[in-house]
Amino acid sequence: MAVLLTGGTGYIGSHTAVCMLEAGYDVVIADDLSNSAADVADRIRQITGRDLRFYQIDVSDRAAVRALFDENDIDAVIHFAGFKAVGESVREPLKYYRNNLDTTLTLLEVMAERNVGVFIFSSSATVYGDRNPAPYTEDMETGRCSNPYGWTKEMIERILESACVADGNLSAVALRYFNPIGAHESGLIGDDPNGIPNNLMPFITQTAAGIRERLSVFGDDYPTPDGTGVRDYIHVVDLAKGHVAAYRYACDHKGFEAINLGTGVGYSVLDIVKTFERVNGVRVPYVIAARRPGDLASVYSDPSKAKALLGWETEKSLEDMCRDAWNYQKNRL
């Protein structure tokens, strides 16, 4: 028996592969390498001392997915593969809807053919939209997403819910991620975006490394303690362990569940900058810039459902996140 990780050489997928292998499960990775590097599979082997199978395929290619299922005894799918750049999704919405929905539907159809009934999905806090006050709980109404990327997450959650209603043997868990940052403590895998980073932490590490001149802090007039945006940053290794817990839960249950993966604590942009500078002894030059369109003031989770259902809680601190993010960046220099 093996678990298929689509997008398994990406940032969150690779950390989850490590945690699944360390927990004793066999792993098969499918990734088209459109946003990750082939050597990540070797790095996962190096960290864990275990082997895994790697397929360079697009999981909307039904024949390739069927062949993968023929060659491996897959008992569950953890589906990370997907486009994730918010701004790009506004400019190229059809590309996002086509890719993110097609991959999911193809996987679910092939799973149904083979009687594979466990599906874990990379959802996002973005499904809570702009009307709900933080902390977000899973019973809040979702939708009102601010961009096509967010809508693909919302639509896929609805697809999973419907599929579970129709098929009593299916178990689907949508994990609503808050803001994953940090890296594996080995420094061998981490967040490695193409081009200019959109997200805060890779921009900070590249600025500290001198690759970027300075960070732009997007707005200091939000209704938050220091005026900068507040987010629920979660160490990517804690997040990865949440997938192991979700997989175990899904193997013993049927139906659809949406579950937040966050710490429940919000930090501001300036909290992150200052903690990063203090923990790592480096400077992160910054300027205050205009608000970024579509950003919310304050986004953080209520993580109690994950604790109750999965027995999972975060363990790592903001200091750990900042130290491990910098360790990965230094390793890459």
Question: Active-site positions?
Answer: 149
List the one residue from 25, 69, 151, 203 that touches ligand UFG (CB under 6 A).
Answer: 203
Count of residues of this chain found to bind ligand UFG when the rule CB under 6 A is applied: 21
- Does 292 sit near ligand UFG (CB under 6 A)? yes
- Does 261 sit near ligand UFG (CB under 6 A)? no
List the one residue from 104, 124, 263, 301 that touches ligand UFG (CB under 6 A).
Answer: 124
List the one residue from 20, 107, 116, 125 that touches ligand UFG (CB under 6 A).
Answer: 125
- Does 152 sit near ligand UFG (CB under 6 A)? no
List the one residue from 92, 226, 295, 302 that touches ligand UFG (CB under 6 A).
Answer: 295
Q: Taking CB under 6 A as the criterion, which residues in 34-73 touch ligand UFG?
A: none
Q: Which stretch binds ligand UFG (CB under 6 A): 18-26, 53-61, 159-167, 211-219?
A: 211-219
Q: Measured between alpha carbons, how far is 189 from 43 in angstroms, rounded to an integer?
A: 7
Cβ(128)–Cβ(80) below 8 Å? no
CB nearer to ligand UFG: pick between 69 and 178: 178
List the one residue from 216, 298, 304, 317 that touches ligand UFG (CB under 6 A).
Answer: 216
Q: Which stretch binds ligand UFG (CB under 6 A): 75-83, 105-113, 167-175, 195-203?
A: 195-203
List the one residue from 53, 114, 206, 218 that touches ligand UFG (CB under 6 A).
Answer: 218
CB nearer to ligand UFG: pick between 227 and 255: 227
Cβ(269)–Cβ(318) below 8 Å? no
- Least separation in angstroms between residue 114's CB and ligand UFG is 31
Q: Which stretch binds ligand UFG (CB under 6 A): 93-101, 161-169, 216-224, 240-248?
A: 216-224
- Does 298 sit near ligand UFG (CB under 6 A)? no
List the one residue from 198, 206, 298, 317 that touches ligand UFG (CB under 6 A).
Answer: 198
- Does 84 sit near ligand UFG (CB under 6 A)? yes
